[in-house]
């Protein structure tokens, strides 16, 4: 698939020429610069070289402070259970209860709701972003929906769908649909107008222009929306599993709340965090793969 960068005109920049006198410069086309030179420039002017294992520095520091506070008694067990007690609670939930079944049920709900939200948000964004008529029919209602918290619609969804799985999946789907729509629609409408002029010189038709320029150019916005949608789906999952759920991580946490089991509650929080981290990591890997043509400060 072509990308917007394929239609760009090679730019030129001035760079010093060694051995040609102080301050002497010559114009060097970007095409003549090696990828390593570009990478060096981005590192010099950007945030710097990526630190190995940098992501884990913050979580490990938090865990260390948590462990230290629990061991010294600074953090009361009534406020926050010690990390080793959380591990014991997780082991007990696995061996004595159906922790695997709860995790599977939660993942199923979030996956179905997220799939519904991605499909609906993408279709609506494409129709609205590529057509003035579609925008006039779709964008207004979506913007009104944005001002209404989806969780406030749960009583209405219960009246429509009951308190079963359908209500939970629809709620998660609507919550995750909004960031997909907003970011994809904005990306479609933010394509540089100069690409249209370049496409005209290449005699590209509208279908070819949309396929080779507009849709690839909107991918960064879609993937950004997907990252927000994943987080939104998990937030929705936490809430809907409080409504007549007979399984799931949220149901496990609700029972633990009734019995004052803070260690089990923390187990649920850790599981939600793991869900979000793995999903976000997967999206970032896809983003790095399909957007490899972009030059960013990431290197």
pLDDT at 60 > cutoff 50: yes
Query: In whole angstroms, what is the distance from residue 199 CA to residue 108 CA?
Result: 44
**pTM for this entry:** 0.74
Q: Counting runs of H as helices and runs of E as strands, what totals does the chain give?
A: 12, 2
Can you read off the two tokens belonging to residue 6?
A: 């394929």
Can you read off the two tokens belonging to residue 67?
A: 């462990």
Query: In whole angstroms, what is the distance from residue 233 CA to residue 250 CA?
Result: 13
**All domains in the chain, ordered by first residue:** 4-9+83-290 (1.10.3720.10)
pLDDT in tens, 166-215: 999 999 999 999 999 999 999 988 877 777 777 777 777 878 888 878 88
> Quick one: which of 107, 132, 129 has its CA closest to 230?
107
Query: In whole angstroms, what is the distance from residue 39 CA to residue 49 CA?
Result: 10
Instruction: State the pLDDT at residue 46.
Output: 58
User: Across 40-49, 53-62, 108-117, which has the greatest mean pLDDT?
Assistant: 108-117
Average pLDDT over residues 115-133: 93
127 phi-psi bin (left φ>0, alpha ψ -120 to 50, beta other): alpha
Question: Helix (H, G, I), strand (E, B), or coil: what is residue 15?
Answer: strand
Query: In whole angstroms, what is the distance from residue 125 CA to residue 175 CA?
Result: 15
Query: In whole angstroms, what is the distance from residue 43 CA to residue 90 CA?
Result: 43
* C-alpha angle 180-186-187 in degrees, rounded to nearest 5: 90
Instruction: State the pLDDT at residue 78.
Output: 81
> Quick one: which of 299, 284, 277 has its CA closest to 35?
299
Mean of pLDDT over the chain: 82
pLDDT in tens, 14-33: 444 444 444 455 555 554 55
Residue-wise DSSP of 116-164? HHHHHHHHHHHHHHH-HHHHHHHHHHHHHHHTS-GGGGHHHHHHHHTTS
Instruction: State the pLDDT at residue 11.
Output: 44
pLDDT band at 90 (very low <50, low <70, confident <90, very high): very high
């Amino acid at each position: 698939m072509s990308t917007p960068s394929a239609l760009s005109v090679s730019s030129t920049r001035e760079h010093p020429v060694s051995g040609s006198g102080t301050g002497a410069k010559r114009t060097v086309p970007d095409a003549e610069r090696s990828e390593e030179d570009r990478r060096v420039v981005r590192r010099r002017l950007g945030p710097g070289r990526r630190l190995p294992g940098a992501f884990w520095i913050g979580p490990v520091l938090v865990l260390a402070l948590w462990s230290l506070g629990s061991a010294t008694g600074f953090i009361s067990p009534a406020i926050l259970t010690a990390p080793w007690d959380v591990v014991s609670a997780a082991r007990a939930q696995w061996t004595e209860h159906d922790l695997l079944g709860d995790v599977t049920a939660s993942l199923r709900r979030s996956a179905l709701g997220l799939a519904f939200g991605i499909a609906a948000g993408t279709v609506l964004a494409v129709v609205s972003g590529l057509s003035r008529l579609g925008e006039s029919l779709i964008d207004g209602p979506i913007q009104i929906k944005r001002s209404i918290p989806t969780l406030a619609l749960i009583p209405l969804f219960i009246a429509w769908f009951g308190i079963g799985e359908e209500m939970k999946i629809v709620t998660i789907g609507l919550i995750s649909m909004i960031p997909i729509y907003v970011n994809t629609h904005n990306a479609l409408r933010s394509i540089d107008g100069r690409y249209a002029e370049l496409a005209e010189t290449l005699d590209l038709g509208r279908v070819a222009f949309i396929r080779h320029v507009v849709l690839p150019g909107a991918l960064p916005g879609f993937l950004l929306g997907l990252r927000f949608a994943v987080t939104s789906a998990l937030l929705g999952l936490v809430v809907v599993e409080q409504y007549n759920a007979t399984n799931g991580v949220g149901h496990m946490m609700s029972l633990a709340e009734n019995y004052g089991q803070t260690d089990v509650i923390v187990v649920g929080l850790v599981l939600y965090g793991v869900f979000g981290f793995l999903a976000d990591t997967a999206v970032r890997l896809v983003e790095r793969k399909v957007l490899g043509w972009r030059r960013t400060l990431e290197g």
